[in-house]
Structure 1
């Protein structure tokens, strides 16, 4: 006979845990939290069993300033953000070749509108948005293949608006809504 867990949230992966630990270490290095706070939050992140517990570990970190732009770049290889990470108001992703995977389904999105600017040469890009997100790809220029995206009716009002712009030369972009 099996018993159900107390928290019905899905279990977390090691990548989710690593992303949370990295965010806490960055906050400590930038002076946003004390050594004691970092220890407490690291303990929470390292012993978390659900995504809700991971989100709690980073929820008390200072919010980024409105209008803040973050840039993720790589000449090649893989760019990946997933799990409990804080999404900036504007995110620039630059890659000459390689794969890009942005998973916003469990991320902390504090802004009603998030702009993602892609500057990609070749390779694939995949963006997973929250279930209730509204996606706008009008500002995206593609040189080879059109993005694969099937708009979804928001299941509940008030979801974030994700605006994707920029340029993709020979890559392929796939956007999907999270199932949960």
Structure 2
């Protein structure tokens, strides 16, 4: 109807509807919204969006009615597949690592699963989250780890919760306690059992150049 205000004024190509157009703007589906939210989370994990921008855009994505509204939310972000090689299709619900007597490392642009099962014996395990592709706000690590150390390399906004972890002849050492003023972008929950060795949570080590450029302490 000519006076129907529920019809959008423009098509996805930016042209106005002429009232008699048989092709109204396409509506977004739940799957469309979920894909955009995933791209936004990856962008925030890359440092392209602040925590406030992420919250605002996710809220707008979940409330979006049309595809053009969703497109606008990611117009200034690169496609996920072009941002470093990892794609959303590689993100697993559960990743199981079952290994003996050899080191385990996940670093660079690896896709963080929604849950990680870690079953190792005398393996040094390193999980570096500083460049990882993170598409959710919580990662649960179910551990059955005997011997050696688990090292988690984090960044601001990544919080590690080890309260539910059962320790036997082992201990947890967190070098950088979370700053209450920093929004949490990923919460890593450790559960299961760690026997012998340590769980170490730390930031990336400084390069020689960063040590030279660090600010001197005031006496």
TM-score class normalised by the smaller sequence = 0.5 to 0.7
Are residue 146 (structure 1) and residue 171 (structure 2) matched?
A: yes
Do the aligned partners of residues 111 and 75 (structure 1) sit closer, same or farther apart at CA in structure 2, a change above 3 Å counting?
A: same
Unmatched tracts of structure 2, length 5 or more: 1-45, 47-80, 207-219
- Distance in 2 (CA, whole Å) between partners of 1:60 and 1:122 is 33
What's 2:91 paired with? 64
Do the aligned partners of residues 59 and 101 (structure 1) sit closer, same or farther apart at CA in structure 2, a change above 3 Å counting?
A: closer
Q: Are 1:81 and 1:102, in contact at CA under 8 Å, matched by a contact in 2? A: yes
Q: Deviations over 1:10-44 (max 9, x none)?
A: xxxxxxxxxxxxxxxxxxxxxxxxxxxxxxxxxxx
Q: Partner of 2:85: helix, strand, or coil?
A: helix
Superposition deviation, residue 110 in structure 1: 0.4
Q: Partner of 2:84: helix, strand, or coil?
A: helix
Superposition deviation, residue 56 in structure 1: 1.1
Unmatched tracts of structure 1, length 5 or more: 1-8, 10-53
Task: Tell me which structure has the larger Cα radius of gyration.
Answer: 2
Higher RCO by CA contacts (8 Å cutoff, separation 6 or greater): 1
What is the TM-score when the length of structure 2 is the normalising length?
Answer: 0.52
Superposition deviation, residue 165 in structure 1: 1.3
- Compare the two structures and name the one with the higher strand fraction: 1
Q: Partner of 1:57: helix, strand, or coil?
A: coil
**Alignment counterpart, residue 125 of structure 1, candidates 150, 171, 192:** 150
RMSD of aligned residue pairs (Cα, Å): 2.7
What's 2:194 paired with? 168
Do the aligned partners of residues 123 and 60 (structure 1) sit closer, same or farther apart at CA in structure 2, a change above 3 Å counting?
A: closer
